[in-house]
Amino acid sequence: MLEQLGSHTYDLLIIGGGATGAGIALDASSRGLKTALVEKQDFAAGTSSRSTKLIHGGLRYLKQFEVTLVREVGRERAIVHRLAPHLVVSEKMLLPLIKGGTYGKMSTSLGLMVYDVLAGVEDADQRVMLSKKETLEREPILREDTLEGAGLYAEYRTDDARLTIEVIKTAVKYGADCINYTEGTDFMYEDIGEGKRKIVGLACKDCLTNKTFQIKAMQVVNAAGPWVDELRNKNQSLSEKRLHLTKGVHIVVPHARLPLSQSVYFDVPGGRMIFAIPRGKITYIGTTDTDYDGDKENPLTHLEDVEYLLKGVNSVFPSVRLLSEDVVSTWAGLRPLIHEEGKSASELSRKDEIFVSATGLVSIAGGKLTGYRKMAERTVDLVMKKLQRRQRKTRTHTIVLSGGEFGTHTAVDDYKAEVFETIKAQGFDAFEADYLVSNYGKQTDEVLESFFEGLEEGRAPQWAMLSAELDFTLHREMAHTPLDFFSRRTGRLYFDIQSVKQWQDQVLAEFITQFNWDEEKAQKERKRLERAIYEASHFS
């Protein structure tokens, strides 16, 4: 792949393998552009593995009158659900109405109706208003004395990193060359007369070997999320419009400690709203929204973030009395928002914007995971124009993502039942079948094939399954380190940290064998994983 990248001239080179860059790679390659993508860390290692993992229209943006944004991302939900029905699952959201809360009964009813209309929600799925009694029947642990009822409306849940990786894999099917652990270090320019220059490529570093090489391209897109301004700075094109990074933290507790039957979006003291989202054997809670100017690669969770979220949960679910000891893991992400003078973190718009520099660098910033496809469409429309190519319209609304070849949504449940039947004799429960299908979709067939081979070779069922996943992610998804596997490929670091602690030595040993690592490299990766486990489960 590295040789290929160094020897071609691409129509389009994308910097950044988060959701934004991935979406652009798929849109461009499926419109026939010769496309490459470089990611300096692992795919999705930036913001795109650290979100609330909702494919949502952003109800609260309605309050800020961001009607166009709500309409666009609201409509996108159903499209992305269709393209990856195993990975983007519909999920009801409960919005409790609390005395003195953000939304009153009338405004909630009206707001949710407008939300449904803007997002084009089908009749059967449209919002329902619940009485206090009906609300408590659904969620008996809600605080009763201040509760006045609730709105119940449609949203979707996903795994952001897996979504990003499946979009990248689909782009690769359309001919894109996408590589992780490759950093764009500087732009290459060509003089075009009258003292003007134009970007004609990117100097790159292979971060695994430190070797440098160049990639030639007619057009370069900067989709570097929180790093967008670093690249604009290198390109000397930083303008008044610049990024404003805000940090958002999520905490994870065992489901038994916050036993919700559905996702809940609720008021917390201080006027903000947060989510509590049940997912298999855990419930996660988030998020915070605070200004940030620290290390972009490794934003950390602090005790004050955890205390803020715990206080919020305990005020609405007082009987659970969650303590910091209940928090089994956390993650922190950075929103790459566009600065607006005088506005606080929560007030900043989530709209995306495209900047074009004098030397031709196209930078895209802001936006939501949910809107990745439309952001890609706008970017590629512009790139086609700049390349003076015949405008072919985007086709991505019809391109099913890899693993998503189910046809109908009910087929996903049928397939889960089938997978459960196949593995239950080896001692697995329905959760495992659900996990496998939600993660890999139809590609679970390939994982199971390797699982049964592992059993034949005498592996114990649990290890045979984990090594089957490992095999799949090594050979089909460019996992390069144990952390890539435990975090971006399987979500275990956040949602099942115990299993990471249990299997870390065996997984590291597999990587050592696969990549023929020497002792020094093996120690480095061991320390990296141990640090990630520590940081996900400690805060100060």
Which of 93, 165, 179, 334 binds ligand FAD (CB under 6 A)? It is 334
Which of 14, 19, 200, 322 binds ligand FAD (CB under 6 A)? It is 19
Which burial class, exposed, middle or buried, applies to 68 when counting CB atoms under 10 A from its CB (0-12, 13-18, 19+)?
A: exposed
Q: Does 370 bind ligand FAD (CB under 6 A)?
A: yes
Which of 15, 179, 313, 500 binds ligand FAD (CB under 6 A)? It is 15
Which of 29, 30, 35, 47 binds ligand FAD (CB under 6 A)? It is 47
Which burial class, exposed, middle or buried, applies to 157 when counting CB atoms under 10 A from its CB (0-12, 13-18, 19+)?
A: buried
**With respect to ligand FAD, which residue has the nearer C-beta, 185 or 498?**
185
Q: Does 484 bind ligand FAD (CB under 6 A)?
A: no
Return the amino acid letter for 56: H
CA-to-CA distance for 224 and 46, rounded, in angstroms? 9
Min dist. Cβ of residue 183 to ligand FAD (A): 4
Q: Does 333 bind ligand FAD (CB under 6 A)?
A: yes
Which of 5, 10, 13, 21 binds ligand FAD (CB under 6 A)? It is 21
Which of 29, 30, 52, 473 binds ligand FAD (CB under 6 A)? It is 52
Q: For CA atoms 361, 1, 492, 281, give the dihedral sign.
A: positive
Q: Does 20 bind ligand FAD (CB under 6 A)?
A: yes
Place of tokens 């979504």: 163
**With respect to ligand FAD, which residue has the nearer C-beta, 330 or 370?**
370
**With respect to ligand FAD, which residue has the nearer C-beta, 39 or 496?**
39
Site for ligand FAD, residues 424 to 443, rule: CB under 6 A? none
**With respect to ligand FAD, which residue has the nearer C-beta, 149 or 201?**
201
Q: Which stretch binds ligand FAD (CB under 6 A): 123-131, 223-231, 264-272, 307-315?
A: 223-231
Cα–Cα distances (Å) from 426 to 190, 455, 459, in that order, read: 62, 10, 12
207 backbone dihedrals φ, ψ, rounded to 5°: -70, -10
Min dist. Cβ of residue 387 to ligand FAD (A): 22
410 backbone dihedrals φ, ψ, rounded to 5°: -70, -25
Min dist. Cβ of residue 311 to ligand FAD (A): 18
Q: Which stretch binds ligand FAD (CB under 6 A): 15-23, 24-32, 254-262, 392-400?
A: 15-23
Let me know: does 163 contact 108? Beta carbons within 8 Å.
no
Which of 277, 369, 399, 478 binds ligand FAD (CB under 6 A)? It is 369
Let me know: does 373 contact 80? Beta carbons within 8 Å.
yes
CA-to-CA distance for 44 and 48, rounded, in angstroms? 5
Return the amino acid letter for 69: L
Q: Does 251 bind ligand FAD (CB under 6 A)?
A: no
Contacts 24+ apart (CB under 8 A), 456-462: 461/426, 461/427, 461/428
Q: Which residues contact 38 (CB under 8 A, 6 or more apart)?
A: 5, 13, 14, 15, 17, 179, 182, 183, 184, 202, 204, 215
User: Which residues of the shown chain bind ligand FAD in the complex (CB under 6 A)?
Assistant: 15-21, 38-41, 45-48, 50-54, 56, 183-184, 223-227, 231, 248, 287, 333-336, 367-370
